[in-house]
Amino acid sequence: MQLKELFCLRQSCRNFDAERKVEKEKLENIMELARLAPSACNSQPYSFIVVTDDELVKEVARCTQSMGMNKHCSAARAFIVMVEENAGLLAKTGGRLKDQDYASIDMGIVSAHIVLAATEQGLSTCMIGWFDEKKLKEILQIDEKKRVRLVFAVGYAAADDKIREKKRKDLDKLVTYR
């Protein structure tokens, strides 16, 4: 698949096929491609919990649902939960000296790897930033001092799901050349 085609196919899925299970092998492939992501000082300041157990999947879905948000997560068949890890001295010192948040940049990059790797395998994803962090940590037994930064809902899109046109800033608003 051409890169542009892959990028256009990747969209936030809010219409998962609740009946279609996600193959473990595909999740492993996604995580292998996540592993290849670059990061500041190669610090890789993240770890992931891949949730496939049906009961746990339901509980994670509930953690993303409050105030009417993320109803679509009920039909996701897997979740990938990203936890921020210690960036290590070099990246942290560099970030402090340069007043840059390298860890967040790194987590954004690895997130792109995850959703694109999933898309390439015919899966659909939705990055979820709206979740009950405390509850999620309890359910998944994550150290309460750590931060959960993003949740990825994973599944197959329903048969009637359509690829939407991307609504983005025009290039002239996005880029200047000097």
Question: Which residues bind to ligand FMN, rule: CB under 6 A?
Answer: 11-12, 14, 70, 126-130, 150, 166
Q: Which of 143, 149, 145, 129 has its CA nearest to residue 66?
A: 129
| Least gap, CB of 46 to ligand FMN (angstroms) | 14
Nearer to ligand FMN, 12 or 42 (CB): 12
**Cα–Cα dist 154/85, whole Å:** 22
**Cα–Cα dist 94/109, whole Å:** 18
Nearer to ligand FMN, 90 or 130 (CB): 130
Nearer to ligand FMN, 23 or 132 (CB): 132
**Cα–Cα dist 37/44, whole Å:** 8
| Least gap, CB of 177 to ligand FMN (angstroms) | 25
| Least gap, CB of 83 to ligand FMN (angstroms) | 15
Shortest-Cβ-distance residue relative to ligand FMN? 129
| Least gap, CB of 64 to ligand FMN (angstroms) | 7
Contacts of residue 24, Cβ cutoff 8 Å, sequence gap at least 6: 52
Nearer to ligand FMN, 76 or 150 (CB): 150
**Cα–Cα dist 16/106, whole Å:** 28
Nearer to ligand FMN, 4 or 178 (CB): 4
| Least gap, CB of 178 to ligand FMN (angstroms) | 28
Which residue has tokens 């359910």? 139
**Cα–Cα dist 173/96, whole Å:** 31
